[in-house]
Amino acid sequence: MNTSQKLLIQGIPDNIPEPVAAVCRSRLLTAVNKLLDETGLENIMVIVGTALESSSSTFEKNNSQNGQDSQKKPDRDLSPEERAKRYKAQEPLFTFEQLVIPEKVREDLLLAVDLIQLESKVFDKWGLRKIEPFPRTALNFHGKPGTGKTLAAHAIASKINRPILVASYAQIESMYHGEGPKNVEAIFLAAEQQNALLFIDEADSLLSKRLTNVTQGSEQAINSMRSQLLICLEKFRGVVMFSTNLVENYDKAFETRVRNINFPMPDETCRREIWERHLVKELPQAPDVSSEKLAEVEDICGRDIKNAVIDAAMRAARQGKEKVALRELLESINSIKKARVNVTPGSRPLTPEEKEEAEKKIKEALAKKKQESTS
């Protein structure tokens, strides 16, 4: 430990939300690990964090300690039970009544709730576990960002009066080879031990098709996490919910085990109701504020509406106004919409096939360049 050198990366702004910072740390560590593999450098401790809190994520190459607390057991030696202690369930933050979705989606969710509640009766008491040992209580909420997937996961947990254990892909994946699958196992174990519903956010990578022609360690790591996930789904007795944005990439093995529920962008009726839910009665509103008028603004998701209400209220308060007016709300939602529409085209994440193809081309180009420079 004392002999290792430190590589300090202090690139994450202090004020960005923790889930985003977690993804940044994870991506940075992955990139640096790859780089170190290529350079063959050893005994380097990589520390990624903000300027204020530089040790928020640490990875030590070729060293068993994780650098944060040398008294602690090295991560890789943790038993599944010890690892599971890291994941704590919480009380659900939202209720079913807060969720505004088309009737068909609501029915699908309520059916899922019924299945969860009736599982023990039908499968254990009525013996159907003999013909279906693993009833499908794995759900996948897929849809565009901000359409209510996370809200729905909490809503289901609160409907059946159980805590929810939230884990994101960024928390599960790990720098160490073999750690990712162990983390997958640990979250399932933690959920079972705490009798919690498991919610795996940003699960696109986990549920995507397993990669063929695996050449890199990182690809292998993803594949083994996916295989571990299948094993856990097979034996898990609880309820697991995933949230994804891109449905077309699913691995066939998951498709047969997971019930998909699509979260559409809200139509005018749903938008009106979402506006009404977010324009809470304590918020002083000018008489011209009308959810009908606001609902006419198309192509916006629930999160846009929430952000517009907050933005308009903040602006009104800053300007010393006592009430929020329709004009402010319309200005906020239109500027949020404009900002979102501007970044969307072309920013779609690559599918695994496209990624594989792109990486193949990069490798070919690099090999060609190397060949040219040596000849």
Ligand X SMILES: Nc1ncnc2c1ncn2[C@@H]1O[C@H](COP(=O)(O)OP(=O)(O)OP(=O)(O)O)[C@@H](O)[C@H]1O
State the Rg of the chain over Cα.
24
Q: How far is the CB of 149 from Mg ion (least distance, A)?
A: 5
Q: For 235-261, give one letter per residue: b (16+ CB within 10 A) or e.
A: ebebbbbbbbbbeebbbebbeebbbbb
**Closest CB 279 distance from Mg ion, rounded Å:** 22
Q: Which residue has the tokens 């529920």?
A: 261
CA 72/CA 92 separation, integer angstroms:
31
92 near ligand X (CB under 6 A): no
CB of 266 to ligand X, least distance (A): 6
Which residue's CB comes closest to ligand X? 302
Closest CA to 250 of 221, 286, 209: 209
Of the two residues 150 and 194, which places its CB atom closer to Mg ion in the complex? Answer: 150
Q: How far is CA 159 from the centre of its chain?
A: 22
| Alpha carbons 88 and 238: distance in angstroms, whole number | 16
In terms of C-beta density within 10 A (0-12 exposed, 13-18 middle, 19 or more buried), how is residue 100 classed?
Answer: buried
Which 3 state secondary structure label does DSSP give 301? coil
Region at 42 (left for phi over 0; alpha for psi -120 to 50; beta for the rest): beta
80 is an interface residue for ligand X by CB under 6 A: no
Q: Give 80 or 145: the residue with its C-beta nearer to ligand X.
A: 145
Interface with ligand X in residues 271-330 (CB under 6 A): 274, 277, 302-303, 306
From 95-103, 207-215, 329-337, 343-351, span contacting ligand X (CB under 6 A): 95-103
**What is the contact mask toward ligand X in residues 178 to 197, using x (rule: CB under 6 A)?**
--------------------
- Tokens (6 digits) for 111: 């059916």
Smallest distance, ligand X to C-beta of residue 307, A: 8
Name the residue type at position 177: H
* The one segment of 60-68, 116-124, 142-150, 317-325 that binds ligand X by CB under 6 A: 142-150
Least distance from Mg ion to the Cβ atom of residue 146, Å: 8
Q: Give the binding site for Mg ion (CB under 5 A).
A: 149-150
Q: Which does 181 bind (CB under 5 to 8 A by kind): Mg ion, ligand X, none?
A: none
If the CB atoms of residues 20 and 31 are measured against ligand X, the closer one turns out to be 20
Q: Which stretch binds ligand X (CB under 6 A): 13-21, 33-41, 145-153, 310-318?
A: 145-153
142 binds ligand X (CB under 6 A): no
Distance between CA 330 and CA 292 in Å, rounded?
12
Give Cα separations from 265 to 105, 122, 145, 301, 303 (angstroms). Answer: 12, 35, 9, 6, 11
Between 257 and 303, whose beta carbon lies closer to ligand X?
Answer: 303
What is d(CA 5, CA 266) in angstroms, rounded to the nearest whole number? 52
Sign of the torsion angle spanned by Cα atoms 21, 23, 24, 28: positive
Q: Is the Cβ of residue 245 or residue 291 nearer to ligand X in the bound state? A: 245
Our finding on whether 105 is near ligand X (CB under 6 A) is no
**Site pattern 147..176 for ligand X (x: CB under 6 A):** xxxxx-------------------------
Residue 101 is a binding residue for ligand X (CB under 6 A): yes
**Partner whose binding site includes residue 99, from ligand X, Mg ion, none (CB under 5 to 8 Å by kind):** ligand X
Residues that bind ligand X (CB under 6 A): 98-101, 145-151, 243, 245, 263, 274, 277, 302-303, 306
